[in-house]
Structure 1
Amino acid sequence: MTEKSTVRSVTYDLLRSLGLTTVFGNPGSTEQTFLQEFPADFTYVLALQEASVIAMADAFAQVTKHPALVNVHSSAGVGNALGNLVAAYHGNTPLIVTSGQQHREMVIGEPYLSNREATTFPKPWVKWSYEPVRAEDVPEAFMKAYAMALQPPAGPVYLSIPLDDWNQPLAGPARVRTVSDRVVPDPRRLRQFADRISASRRPALVFGPDVDRSGGWDGAVALAEKLRAAVYGAPLSDRASFPEDHRLFRGPLGLSMKAISERLTGHDLVVVIGAEVFRYYPYVPGPYLPDGTDLLQITADPAVAAGARVGDSLLGDPRAAIELLLDSVADGSERTAPEPMARPKQLPEVPSSPLTPPEVYAILSKVRPADAVIVNESTSTMAQQIEWLPTTETGSFFATASGGIGWGTPAAVGVALGDRHRGVARPVIGLIGDGSFQYSVQAIWTAAQHNLPIVYVVMRNEEYSILKSFAVLEQTPGVPGLDLPGLDIGAIARGFGCRAVDVKTTEDLEREFQAALAAGTTTVIVVPTEPQQAML
């Protein structure tokens, strides 16, 4: 407790106790009473726009496996943040998002910068939204926010705090509590699931992003190998939960009802762990499952279980469930192992100009360090990334969980800051489309300011390729606004303080990528590429 104990001093002591000493933010006038005399033992990470703030904190929390604290401006600032708050919500990332509110004595008159209906504004993309009734409730509100964010299903929460609350006198210390962040599955129902899996003739496993998030990567490999089961990647997964070069891996499951049903044909049982059933994108009608196929789902999220269109569900932490299943399922050594996935890896006989995405990925597969982490927001080339740059280690692949773009560029910053925070040194590769790069381009300023070891590879095809592919699928010709001529991405990157180079050949890309790895700071490599139709 300080000499003059206030709401602010008591809250900062609580934040220290909870390990929340890194604040991601973009300050505004109504937040300055919280940020005044910023403590030397805290770190403030400045981003130049609130959407970038959220994505940085999101990735930082995922890497550190600990809730992250965010401070954005009231009202309009919260509005800017909402797009990437959707990603944090879908990605089950524990964030405590705070914003200021106008002085309590003025709020009734709705003054300039007041946060109108503050607790309603961020819904439905937070688990809990609250504005303390009294100034003295602020520390306890933070404690509850921490508990809500961390408990399964984890996710973002929101606090609106009037600017005059922070300097109010308050005796401390705040009450500190601990909460569990895992729920084990019901033993009886798990035993029933294990028996059904053991009796399956040709099971398929679908591991979703929550497996990797829960630390279940090694268990997933062990379970697949014990069952001799084919493994598929969950649709539109924002984390990889199984080594994509493993002999049992059969690639992504697909994005539509028709594609997924066709992919699962021949399996009598599908076991989905840590994922929705299913995360569909284009509407291509078909059965939810092939005839003769049953489905079991294990998830920590009751809403995900309730929303499944087919199958039987079990609530529980994915890692805990996998480890319990390992001890319960029968050995599958008598099953016929699935055929390895075909990996054609075809390249043009003569180098293209501009390069094709596979040519870019082929070079990156050659020069990528083994410990590199990938953040992907090149939405039209993700299938080629899995083919050429398979994820082989836990916690080394990140993508947006929401489908909205503008997450990947700042998320790479959050990954690098998270690694630095936990004392890990590994390069971060941001694979970003030229359209995606524009949404949160200001995030590279933060990367440059912190000298982060990020190599952004921006594939410049001068269009929104994913949207053109969707237009073909949905038979909607003549959609405007899908071309992106005239962007000088290298000049933009240099303007934000980054190293930037434009390359045209595979030799140039290889040389400049290796130079970027040795640069000790952030580099943006711009590669003109041929447009291609995405695999939907």
Structure 2
Amino acid sequence: MTEKSTVRSVTYDLLRSLQLTTVFGNPGSTEQTFLQEFPDDFQYVLALQEASAIAMADAFAQVTRRPALVNLHSSAGLGNALGNLVAAYRGNTPLIVTSGQQHRELLIGEPYLGNREATTMPKPWVKWSYEPARAQDVPEAFLRAYAVALQPPTGPVYLSIPMDDWNQPLAGFTRTRTVSDRVAPDPVRLRTFAERISASRRPALVFGPEVDRAGGWNAAVALAEKLRAAVYGAPLLDRASFPEDHPLFGGPLGMSVKTISDRLAGHDLVIVIGAEVFRYYPYVPGDYLPAGTELLHITADPAVASYARMGDSLLGDTKTAIELLFDLVEEGAARTAPEPVPRPRQLPQTPSSPLTPPEVYATLSKIRPPDAVIVNESTSTMAQQIEWLPTTRTGSFFATASGGIGWGTPAAVGVALGDLANGVSRPVIGLIGDGSFQYSVQGIWTAAQHQLPIVYVVMRNQEYSILKSFAVLEETPGVPGLDLPGIDIASLARGYGCRTAEVETTEELEKAFNAALHADTTTVIVVSTQPQKAML
């Protein structure tokens, strides 16, 4: 006997055709009609908290370069997930986020677990939010959600689906289609940009996360070398888009108005590609650009172009734009190449106790496999990480795009699962602060259950160091709640099924890290460190 065709069966067939066969989630009662008789050719990745599910899916989508599917529980689960939904939106990650809605028969009476004003709740952190008017519209809603998530600027979308819709009869859905995911820049305006770049005496390039997301790493290197231009990392990067050990790399641009303007002094033209102009935090007043400096801006996101504080903008796919610019700009042979930026890399003459973050990173730099990927959420030590553990390959650095914490630990899980889906084997290193680790510590359970090759290096300084740095900058003494004593991180990690090691010296760290690289599951290494004043 042929199985009855329902909204559920038709939707699963559609999801197969879209390669959306991995579902990240934490199941609830209003989602069970969707998840019943879960197909053998689908994978359900269980996170123990909804914010972790979003972060895992976010990183998975970034690594696989295709949308990912998340299933949350009604408004309660969506509420738990919102913090990391902000990160996915800011990071332009294509996610299809779904949650269950109560039975249509009950909705008029505001039932328990009803998703009140369901389409409003995730705004403004989704590109599109929808609850189908009819059960028969569910498959087409998924198809539209897929198209919206994938079209530039890419980003998360949301569907609220009543629990009784899934079992409704539906003969089939055949109106599948494909959509473009790249928009070419205006050729006339691009040519004008190329002419201004060619005429520049001392240009600077600022490459942002869009470049690496678009697969433009190699094109960015080629353009910089042709122009002989200095390259800076965009502020507060969530993806690196240029090798940070390259002779043209001048380091991170900074975070404040004053710092960025000071770094750009002496350049007559700044070309920002694939980044905001700029991500500022904290507020330190200064000139937005040095006197005599002009700015060109290329981005795939109209919103990012609209709220830039200065410069002339061009919309278009960043990889395409860079490749076209390469052919249009003149060779920069007449320019004097910028001097390589000195890397002081200063360490204490005798080992510290506890270790300093530079000592930790210096040790890891000696033993990090060249193909390793880094997920960073040690917010007070980002500058030291770039100094000692520079990103040298495309797709090998990830951080949160939102400024919130609690993303990095589960995101490392998503990276590792994405590598498995791509057939790639490489170590994943999670550099996590002890404060950040507590926001989503349950994420390591999923890592252990899947026996993922993740090495978490948790730097335990027993405080929110980044917030203490801000307190000094903002002259706000006496802020409470900035110390974190008494957390036994290793015991927590063992309780979730991970291998653990607690280290005090560089020798112990090197031994524990090498052992973790050859382990058959996830390892959490807890390193006692001194607080690090953040470079703001």
- Is TM more than 0.5 here? yes
Structure 1 match to 2:494: 494
Instruction: Say if 2:458 and 2:526, in contact at 8 Å, map to a contact too.
Output: yes
User: Contact (CA 8 Å) 2:413, 2:447: kept in 1 or not?
Assistant: yes
Structure 1 distance, partners of 2:520, 2:42, is 25
Structure 1's unaligned 5+ residue stretches are: none
- The aligned counterpart of 1:41 is 41
Q: What is the correspondence of 1:111-130 to structure 2 with a 5 Å cutoff?
A: 111-130=111-130
User: What does residue 534 of structure 1 align with?
Assistant: 534
What SS class does the counterpart of residue 148 from structure 2 fall into?
Answer: helix
1: CA distance between counterparts of 2:174 and 2:164? 19
User: 1:342 Cα shift?
Assistant: 1.1
- The amino acid across from 2:375 in the alignment is V
| Equivalent residues in 2 for 1:335-484, closer than 5 Å | 335-484=335-484
- 1:2 & 1:533 partners in 2: Cα distance? 66
The separation in 2 between residues aligned to 1:469 and 1:176, in whole angstroms, is: 52
Give 1:174 deviation, angstroms.
Answer: 3.7
1:140–1:174 contact (8 Å) kept in structure 2: no
Trace 1:11-22 onto structure 2 (pairs within 5 A): 11-22=11-22
1:3 shift after superposition = 2.7
CA distance, structure 2, for counterparts of residue 186 and residue 86 of structure 1: 30
Maintained 8 Å contact 1:100/1:161: yes
| Partner SS for 1:108 | helix
Runs (4 or more) in structure 1 with deviation over 4 Å come to none
What's the Cα RMSD here? 0.7
Aligned residues: 536
Q: In the TM superposition, what whole-angstrom CA distance separates every residue of 1:436-491 from its partner, at most 9, and x where no partner exists?
A: 00000000000000000000000000000000000000000000000000000000
Supply the distance in 2 between the matched residues of 1:134 and 1:459 (Cα, whole angstroms). Answer: 51
Q: Which residue of 1 aligns with 2:92?
A: 92
How big is each residue's C-alpha offset from its partner over 1:84-123, in whole Å with a ceiling of 9 and x where there is no partner?
Answer: 0000000000000000000000011011100000000000
- Whether the 8 Å contact between 1:357 and 1:529 is mirrored in structure 2 is yes
* Paired amino acid for 2:81: A
Partner Cα distance (1:367, 1:109) in 2: 61
* Amino acid in structure 2 at the alignment position of 1:494: R
Asked whether the equivalents of residues 11 and 174 of structure 1 are also in contact (C-alpha less than 8 Å), the reply is: no
Q: Structure 1 residue 47: deviation in Å?
A: 0.3
Letter in 2 for 1:293: T
Letter of the 2:213 partner, please give it: R
> What per-residue deviation string (whole Å, max 9, x for no partner) do you get for residues 482-514 of structure 1?
000000000000000000110001100000000
- Mapped pair 1:235 → 2:219: no
Instruction: Indicate the residue corresponding to 1:78 in structure 2.
Output: 78
For structure 2, the 5+ residue unaligned runs are: none
Counterpart AA for 1:162: P
- Structure 1 counterpart SS, 2:285: coil
Q: Do residues 255 (structure 1) and 231 (structure 2) align?
A: no
Q: SS state of the match for residue 303, structure 1?
A: helix
Asked if the contact 1:409–1:432 (Cα under 8 Å) also holds between the matched residues in 2, the reply is yes
Query: Aligned equivalents of 2:360 and 2:505: distance in 1?
Result: 9
> Where does residue 175 of structure 1 map in the other structure?
175
AA aligned opposite 2:457? V
Given that 2:302 and 2:315 are in contact with CA atoms closer than 8 Å, whether structure 1 keeps it comes out as: yes
CA distance in 1 between partners of 2:378 and 2:424 (Å): 26
Give the partner amino acid of 2:25.
Answer: G
CA distance in 2, matches of 1:2, 1:175: 23
Deviation at 1:2, TM superposition (A): 5.9
- Does 1:217 pair with 2:217? yes
Instruction: State how 1:268-279 maps to structure 2 within 5 Å.
Output: 268-279=268-279
The one-letter code sitting in structure 1 at the alignment partner of 2:92 is: N
Question: What is residue 27 of structure 1 aligned with on the other side?
Answer: 27
CA contact (8 A) 1:74 1:100 kept: yes
| 1:525 to 1:392, Cα distance in 2 relative to 1, 3 A | same
The residue type paired with residue 453 of structure 2 is P
Return the alpha-carbon distance in structure 2 between the equivalents of residues 454 and 176 of structure 1: 38
Say whether the 8 Å CA contact 1:374–1:431 is kept in structure 2: yes
Q: In structure 1, what is the Cα distance between the partners aligned to 2:246 and 2:90? A: 27
Distance between the aligned counterparts of 2:171 and 2:296, measured in 1?
Answer: 52
Verify the 8 A CA contact 2:139 2:173 in the aligned structure 1. no
Q: Deviations over 1:157-186 (max 9, x none)?
A: 000000000000001134211000000000
CA contact (8 A) 1:93 1:155 kept: yes
How far, CA to CA, are the matches of 1:66 and 1:417 in structure 2?
13
TM-score by length of 2: 1.00
Does the aligned pair in 2 maintain the 1:97–1:159 contact within 8 Å? Answer: yes
Q: Supply the distance in 2 between the matched residues of 1:121 and 1:388 (Cα, whole angstroms).
A: 42
The match for 2:196 is 196
Please tell me the residue identity of whatever aligns with 2:271.
Answer: V
Q: Which residue is equivalent to 1:58?
A: 58
1:503 is matched with 503
Instruction: Tell me the equivalent position of 2:308.
Output: 308
The aligned amino acid for 1:34 is F
Secondary structure of 2:74's aligned partner: coil
Aligned to 1:146: 146
SS in 2 for 1:75: helix
Equivalence for 1:156? 156
Secondary structure of 1:288 counterpart: coil
